[in-house]
Structure 1
């Protein structure tokens, strides 16, 4: 068993912040290296050109997850914040979190990690050589230090993916990636084609459609479009991500979610229909896209076949000419330029529990996964789990079992999506990690605190439920859960209503939901 004291943390974005705090909880000595001058990672908005680099915020971005679902487990969003957040809300929250837990003093800014390699005695000590390049005025200083463990927190948005199609080199218009997009008004009077089927593609297309002469969106396999508002006005993610519903067989949940989504958007008439079932298809959270299609300012096109000098031909043999700009909202790839592929190959990303290198058990990757829901709580549990492994609280199986687990998880993702895409429903994964570290909510709560138990097991899977008991519990967790709905709507109830309908509405929704579930099971 190796002894861990000093931990190198690479990146001060969301996963880096929770990694620092998790290390402090285990009484480690974390040192975080951040190549920029501030915390926040991809949530920092800048007008600077990030062409070809990591993900970047665009003007007007609104979160796809509601604030009560995307908060950290022991630090609530302010009640006055709206249910869905703009970028400035989110970055302020992360700065407040860092200040509250005195995290920033453990971060070295303007410091880039350029190499991470095992020490000669790594197999017995678990230690790592970490080489950094620090900017000091006009000079760069490189130095190497030894750490007992490393947590890589550079995320999954570090490298733009740009597809290639025949004729692109002859196309006379502009071709860009969505990481350079900032605002729709930059494309006034242009003919725009957006390529992609996820959240950013929908945002870019709808923003451009307000200003461009014409706007099109090209979908390879179609997609499912989800509104932020779910049944009874509740945030959709708080309806979808609940403990009891995660226990329902997958084929039933798929039918239920598909039925719910299609009750709000006619995917056939709008040309959005996916050829895959909802759990393996592209999902786009967007409230405006169906309306923009219905009023004719946005048109849906098939997959691209080829570019011409002035336009694009699609696989259904339709053609658009005089295109001024093509915006590829085609996502990002993971890259770890400071680590040899012999240690971890980002093209496979075979990690035990999607976190730990099977061979090098003091090397953890936090935030290299995607969740169909809020990301931050997933990263937080990953960080807590990794810190518990380093401390010896969580025991690991042997090397072969770790390798089999890592391969099985990746193979499962490839089978689901047809290519390597690490993305899954958050609740089952969070429960798995929480169970390992001893913080999972238990059924005996129905005897000791039945009101809370109903909220925890049948209501939204709010992150504070992982601070109710076990290591590093939070005294405010119960209150945060019980007031979850109240805090969600606190900022929107700006007009007094004499008669409260909320309780009746929730009961009605639950009854309808259970009735619908029975129908699906029977028929």
Structure 2
């Protein structure tokens, strides 16, 4: 263990994905001493493609990226505020390879790599003598390290522990059952009859990939207005599953069908198993409580969580990091613990009264205020550019009304407020630079 007589500005960042990179960059820029621990072999978090071969457990797989993935959000909203994508990439919806290269370029541009320790897994974080004691396993040497820090950024991501929606008699089903976390290639489902549970972005995307090879794809959903425009002939929309049978499932419309494969596209459960029980937060059904503005640990305000939100993107991660650093640096003073708890509890009560699911507590779309603007105004920091928010809302709308063609859209942000759509340019033309 290092001496407790350490500099009062030591920051530990857990995770070297997009959130962690933003935490390292801004902490360094503000004069903090920073160490980031990343348990995998490279930076990039979810954007690092990995094969699930040989994994004993689903949680051993760090990434959900599949072979043919193109982003479901345009790159114009997936960039850090002051580091855009290369000008030669005209397409808005890009491959996962390009996203990973972008984050690697970001780390190089701001000289983050010397502060990131790869293959170092955080095993335990606990408060100790007014500091944070961090136990880290060096996976290369199998050596356990113990370090002390003044501040913690928890940036470990949320798409690691698959969530399986509870469905009656699932254990009776005798076919292949898997989560989208383990999906990699559509051709692996050649001539199969596939049931996909969930019509969110991943469910819709997998259905359109797999239908090119499968006999048929049944798409089960429980949303009131699913984006079912121009489905391929062998994609059959169905309501939610009532129960499983040994060979298939019965749906809420009382129809039954047989399937050789069932794929759950039902999201993930957030976990942070390295946090000791005395860290001041607990996690239940995806809710991290109590957090001020969904970010700062109210009971231990030298700890912040970045990237918990649904529809999270680098500009928001960047904003959350800068928000937390205003208080870590003591440039801003937090409200009292009671005031922060009251605000948090009032918001949770309102969400519950409006019938919103508990596990979606940190979903931005359900917040009662504009989360981005509120964070910036509270801390007195530069907000996310309005044009980025406008692109986000426009792209979400296009996903809902035209799933089969929305990735053909090419956006261009002209200034802080304005963007345009190159509506007559195909994705193929954009890829070839004809914009």
Into which bin does the TM-score normalised by the smaller protein fall?
Answer: 0.7 to 0.9
Match of 1:381 in 2: 319
Secondary structure of the residue aligned to 1:370 is coil
Task: Measure, in 1, the Cα distance between the counterparts of 2:42 and 2:383.
Answer: 35
Contact (CA 8 Å) 1:9, 1:19: kept in 2 or not?
yes
Task: Measure, in 1, the Cα distance between the counterparts of 2:236 and 2:160.
Answer: 30
Match of 2:135 in 1: 131
Paired residue total: 393
Secondary structure of the residue aligned to 2:262 is strand
Deviation at 1:366, TM superposition (A): 0.7
Q: Is 2:31 aligned against 1:31?
A: no
Deviates more, 1:49-58 or 1:171-180: 49-58
Secondary structure of the residue aligned to 2:358 is coil
Deviation at 1:43, TM superposition (A): 0.9
Deviates more, 1:375-384 or 1:186-195: 375-384
Deviation at 1:388, TM superposition (A): 1.4
Match of 2:253 in 1: 316
Q: After superposition, what is the alpha-carbon deviation per residue over 1:253-273, rounded to whole angstroms, capped at 9, x for unaligned?
A: xxxxxxxxxxxxxxxxx5xxx
Q: After superposition, what is the alpha-carbon deviation per residue over 1:102-122, rounded to whole angstroms, capped at 9, x for unaligned?
A: 011100110000000001x32
Deviation at 1:157, TM superposition (A): 1.5
Contact (CA 8 Å) 1:393, 1:437: kept in 2 or not?
no
Task: Measure, in 2, the Cα distance between the counterparts of 1:168 and 1:89.
Answer: 38
* Richer in strand (by share): 2
Deviation at 1:349, TM superposition (A): 1.4
Structure 2 counterpart of 1:77, from 71, 74, 85: 85
Task: Measure, in 2, the Cα distance between the counterparts of 1:25 and 1:355.
Answer: 20
Secondary structure of the residue aligned to 1:143 is strand
Task: Measure, in 1, the Cα distance between the counterparts of 2:29 and 2:390.
Answer: 21
Contact (CA 8 Å) 2:281, 2:299: kept in 1 or not?
no
Deviation at 1:182, TM superposition (A): 0.7
RMSD: 2.8
Q: Is 2:371 aligned against 1:429?
A: yes
Match of 1:326 in 2: 262
Q: Quick one: structure 1 residues 312 and 150, their matched pair in 2 at CA, closer, same or farther if it must change by over 3 Å?
A: same
Deviation at 1:167, TM superposition (A): 2.6
Q: After superposition, what is the alpha-carbon deviation per residue over 1:170-192, rounded to whole angstroms, capped at 9, x for unaligned?
A: 22100000011012111000100
Q: Quick one: structure 1 residues 163 and 337, their matched pair in 2 at CA, closer, same or farther if it must change by over 3 Å?
A: same
Deviation at 1:406, TM superposition (A): 2.5
Contact (CA 8 Å) 1:356, 1:386: kept in 2 or not?
yes
Deviates more, 1:192-201 or 1:340-349: 340-349
Match of 1:402 in 2: 340
Contact (CA 8 Å) 2:48, 2:63: kept in 1 or not?
no
Contact (CA 8 Å) 2:158, 2:268: kept in 1 or not?
yes
Deviation at 1:485, TM superposition (A): 4.5
Q: Is 2:100 aligned against 1:100?
A: no
Q: After superposition, what is the alpha-carbon deviation per residue over 1:143-199, rounded to whole angstroms, capped at 9, x for unaligned?
A: 211100111001222311113333322221000000110121110001000001211
Task: Measure, in 2, the Cα distance between the counterparts of 1:314 and 1:496.
Answer: 47
Contact (CA 8 Å) 1:410, 1:420: kept in 2 or not?
no
Q: After superposition, what is the alpha-carbon deviation per residue over 1:307-345, rounded to whole angstroms, capped at 9, x for unaligned?
A: 111111112110002x10000011001111011345211
Match of 1:6 in 2: 10
| TM-score, reference length from structure 1 | 0.70
The correspondence of residues 62-461 of structure 1 with structure 2, limited to 5 A, is 62-81=70-89, 82-119=91-128, 121-122=129-130, 127-136=131-140, 139-225=141-227, 290-292=229-231, 295-321=232-258, 323-342=259-278, 343-347=280-284, 348-350=287-289, 351-371=291-311, 375-414=313-352, 415-421=354-360, 422-425=362-365, 428-440=370-382, 459-461=387-389
* Richer in helix (by share): 1
Structure 2 residue runs without a partner (length 5+): 1-5, 392-412
Contact (CA 8 Å) 1:188, 1:213: kept in 2 or not?
yes
Contact (CA 8 Å) 2:77, 2:313: kept in 1 or not?
no
The correspondence of residues 481-500 of structure 1 with structure 2, limited to 5 A, is 481=416, 485=420, 492=430
Match of 1:17 in 2: 21
Task: Measure, in 2, the Cα distance between the counterparts of 1:4 and 1:369.
Answer: 30
Structure 1 residue runs without a partner (length 5+): 226-269, 271-289, 443-455, 464-477, 498-523
Q: Quick one: structure 1 residues 482 and 360, their matched pair in 2 at CA, closer, same or farther if it must change by over 3 Å?
A: closer
Secondary structure of the residue aligned to 1:112 is strand
Q: Quick one: structure 1 residues 494 and 170, their matched pair in 2 at CA, closer, same or farther if it must change by over 3 Å?
A: closer
Contact (CA 8 Å) 2:241, 2:250: kept in 1 or not?
yes
Deviation at 1:486, TM superposition (A): 9.1
Contact (CA 8 Å) 2:58, 2:162: kept in 1 or not?
yes
Question: Which structure has the larger Rg?
Answer: 1
Contact (CA 8 Å) 1:68, 1:484: kept in 2 or not?
no
